[in-house]
Amino acid sequence: MFKKALLSLLLFIPSFAFAYSDYVYVGGENIGIELKAKGVLVVGFYKVNDSYIASDAGLKIGDRIISINNQEINSINDLSDQINTSDGNVIVTFIRDNNTETINFTLPKEDNTYKTGIYVKDSITGIGTLTYVDPNTKLFGALGHEIIDSRTGQILSISGGKIYESNVTDIEPSSNGIPGEKNAQIIKENINGTIFENTNKGVFGNYTDELEGKKLYKVANPDEIKKGKATILTVLEDNIIKEYEIEITKISKNQDTKNISFEIKDEELLAQTNGIVQGMSGSPIIQDDYIIGAVTHVVVDNPHKGYGIFITTMLEEGEN
């Protein structure tokens, strides 16, 4: 569960040559996550000359503008530049429900500035948990699931992003039917990596921070995972990683992502969170000194229970 915060170089190798390491550095630390959208997201409208000119022209909240007058748009600055250098007659190309659409409309001018009638954003910021870093490639994986655009409910298409150092400030515990959440401070001065992929199996990128003091864990294949005792690594206070006991109750090899069913057993963790909370996504799952997966979802009606994804699934996705 990716929680919205309050407050490189990719080595190209032929796909047949990709092979993740048998041992990886295990994460557990809380991270700030910033994703840059491909295009600019429409998040609201305002009136111009007593009418909603953009929505009347056909735009909707959740549309992702990708070009103005056939010029590519990747940021709010790009949007402003194209609007300001136009004659007020604009061709707007956008993505809606995975379809590309185009509309034309004329922008009125006020105080020598064209008014679009739209509120937009070009990035999403939140927190999650780092899962692993491959020691050979320095590729990292986090979250174990996708980050979605809350307006459309779809996976956010990204042009890139960054991960940052982050300190947990407090916890809002879960209750039946209501997942809790971590609150955290994101320290944008301390960049830990760059992001190149956002998929239903996690957020992936290149790790740029130091790895001193981190422990290598052997990667478990799904056949090596068994029901019974295991632990998760996560942060509940400041930047202190601690290990907490869970019980694996089911292993599902035919599932795409919800491969490991488990229940929180650790009394200290339950006392602070009452189970799984938003921001714990990506917390590594350890069994017999192997990394076997990562926490991904909570069972909303019983936050003591949750799901995890196989670590091999994340590693394979991160190298594609």
Q: Which active-site residues does the annotation give?
A: 145, 266, 281
Q: Count other C-beta atoms under 10 Å from residue 150's C-beta.
A: 11
Separation between Cα atoms, residue 226 and residue 214, nearest integer Å: 25
Report the number of secondary-structure helices (H) and strands (E) in the chain: 4, 24
Candidates 252, 156, 169; CA nearest to 198 is: 156
Token pair, residue 206, equals 């290149």
Q: Helix (H, G, I), strand (E, B), or coil: what is residue 79?
A: helix
CA dihedral 271, 277, 283, 289 (to 10 degrees): 30
Candidates 105, 132, 131; CA nearest to 117 is: 105
Q: Helix (H, G, I), strand (E, B), or coil: what is residue 254?
A: coil
CB of 114 closer than 8 Å to CB of 86: yes
